[in-house]
Structure 1
Amino acid sequence: MSKISALEIKCSENRALIQHLEQNIESLQRSYLKATIDFRNIPAKKGKESTSDLIFIVTHTGTALNLEINPSDVRDVYRLPNKSGSSGIIVAEFTSVLLKNDVLQAARSSNSKRPIDEKLNSTHIGIEGKKQPIFVSEYLNLTTRKNFAQARQFPKDNHYKYYWSTNARIFLRKDDSSKQILIKTEKCLNDLIN
C-alpha cells in the first residue's frame, strides 16, 4: 500500500510538471507567433500557388483596408493544408507586432463601417468568381484555438458578457463592471463554473 501511495504521489507530481512544461511551451509559441495573422476563407489559386501569390493576397488585403503593406513587411507567408472543399488558412508573419495590430484594427474598423454584404470579401482583393467573405484574425496555435473555441461557448452557457483574444491570450469578462479573467487552460473555465 505504501508503494502504491508513493507511486500516486509521484504520478501527481509528474502531471503537475507536465502541465507546467506545457504552459511554458505555450508561452514560447505565443511569443514566437506574436506578429502573425491568419486570413481565412480566401479561395486558393487553381494549380500551384506560390509565395508571390500569397504575398499578393496579403498586400491587396491591406489595400482593401486602406493600409499599406509592402512585400518587405511580410517575413513569411504560407497556406495551411485544408480539409476537402474548404480554403486553407493563409498565415502571414509580419516584421513587426505594430503592423500586425494595425492590420487587425483596420479589419475591425473597416467591417464595422460597412453593411453586411459589403464587409471585406474576395472581390475587394481582386479575386474573381463568387464573392466570399474574408476573415482576418490573430493567429492562434492549436491549443489556444481549442481553448478559444471553448471560451466562445462559455459566455452563452454561463451568463458572461464578453470574450476576446489579444496577443494570443484569451480573456473573459462577466459584465461591464467586472475584471477581465485570463483563460490559460480548460481548467480555468472549469474553475469558473465551480
Structure 2
Amino acid sequence: MTRRRRRKTGGEKSQNLSTSSEVSPEPKRSKMADAGGPLSSTPVPTTDKEIKSQLSEIMETLALLGKQIEKISSVENRLSDLQKSVTYQYSRRNNIEIHGIPQRNGEDTNDIVVRVAAAVGVDITPSDIDISHCLPSRQNQTQQRHQTPAIIVKFVRRSVRNSIYYARKNLRGQTPNQIRVGDNNTNNIYINENLTPPMKRLFHQVNERRKQLKWRFIWTSNGKIFTRKDETSEVITVPSAKAMNRIN
C-alpha cells in the first residue's frame, strides 16, 4: 500500500519564514556610538593657537606636579634624616662621657672609669665596661686653649650606665686629685650623655639662651634636652632649634 506524501502548502512556508524572522538577533550597535568616551566630548585642537594653548596648559600642570614632587622628596629626606638621627642616638644609649680628667701616657681609661664610678657611689669592675677611650682634643675657641679631652665609655649593660649617670651629682666639688692620687689638676669633673653632633650643637644653643635669660637648669636624658627656669617652674623640652622660642 503506497503512502501519499503530504505536500507543503505556500501558507506553511510563509509561516516558517515569519517565525524565523522573529527570533533573529538585532544588528550590533557601534561601540563608539555608545561609549561616550573622552574623544566624544573633548574637541581636538585644529589650529596652531589651540595647540599652543593646550601645550601651555600641559606644561603648567607638569610644573605644578614637579613642585609637589620636590616637596614630597624634601619631606621624605627630612624624615630620613630624623630617623637616622634617632637611630644614631639610640645606638649610644649605653654610653657616657667623662670630662675634666687628663689622661696620662699609658694609663688605662677603664681604670679611670672604675674610679669615677666609685666616686659617685656605684661599684663596678672592668668587666662592666665594653670599651673606653679618650676623645680627640679640641680647642676652646673662646679661651684659645685646648680643653682636656673627654673619656667616652660604653657599658655592657644600660642599667650600669644609668646608675652612674643618675648619680653624677655626687661629683660636685671633686677634682682629679680625689679620683686619682698625685694628680694636681683642679678641673671640675662632670658626666654627660654621649649626644650626636646635631644634638650637641642644639644643647650649646639652648645653654647660651639659658644663660642669657638666667635660667638655672639644663640637662639631658635619653638623648633629649630639658631646661627649667627655677625649682618651681615648668620643665621645657627642646627637641629642635624651632622650639627654643619656648625659653622666654
TM-score by length of 2: 0.63
How many residues were matched structurally? 181
Structure 1 residues 39, 174: closer, same or farther in 2, change over 3 A?
Answer: closer
Partner of 1:96: 157
CA-atom RMSD in angstroms: 2.7
Structure 1 residues 38, 128: closer, same or farther in 2, change over 3 A?
Answer: same
- Provide Cα deviations, 1:56-79, integer angstroms capped at 9, x if missing partner: 110111222232121011111121
1:23 aligns with 2:82: yes
Provide the rounded CA distance (Å) in 1 between the counterparts of 2:212 and 2:179: 38
- Provide Cα deviations, 1:33-90, integer angstroms capped at 9, x if missing partner: 11211011221223xx46xx11011011122223212101111112111126332211
- Provide Cα deviations, 1:95-126, integer angstroms capped at 9, x if missing partner: 22222222123220342xxxxxxx12111221
Provide the rounded CA distance (Å) in 1 between the counterparts of 2:71 and 2:228: 32
User: Quick one: which of 194, 200, 208 aligns to 1:145?
Assistant: 200
Structure 1 residues 129, 159: closer, same or farther in 2, change over 3 A?
Answer: closer
Secondary structure of 2:226's aligned partner: strand
Secondary structure of 1:33's aligned partner: coil
TM-score by length of 1: 0.78
Letter matched to residue 151 of structure 2:
I
1:186 aligns with 2:214: no
Provide the rounded CA distance (Å) in 2 between the counterparts of 1:159 and 1:18: 37
Letter matched to residue 96 of structure 1:
R
Partner of 2:175: 121
Asked if 1 retains the 8 angstrom alpha-carbon contact of 2:101 and 2:176, the reply is: yes
Provide the rounded CA distance (Å) in 2 between the counterparts of 1:131 and 1:145: 25
Provide the rounded CA distance (Å) in 2 between the counterparts of 1:16 and 1:156: 34
Provide the rounded CA distance (Å) in 2 between the counterparts of 1:102 and 1:29: 22
Partner of 1:38: 97
Secondary structure of 1:164's aligned partner: strand
**Larger relative CO (CA 8 A, sep 6+): 1 or 2?**
1
Structure 1 gaps of 5+ residues are: 112-118
1:109 aligns with 2:170: yes
Identical pairs, percent: 21
Provide the rounded CA distance (Å) in 2 between the counterparts of 1:57 and 1:177: 37
Matches within 5 A, 1:166-181: 166-173=221-228, 176=232, 178=234, 180-181=235-236
Provide the rounded CA distance (Å) in 1 between the counterparts of 2:214 and 2:185: 38
Partner of 2:129: 74
- The structure having more radius of gyration, on CA atoms, is 2
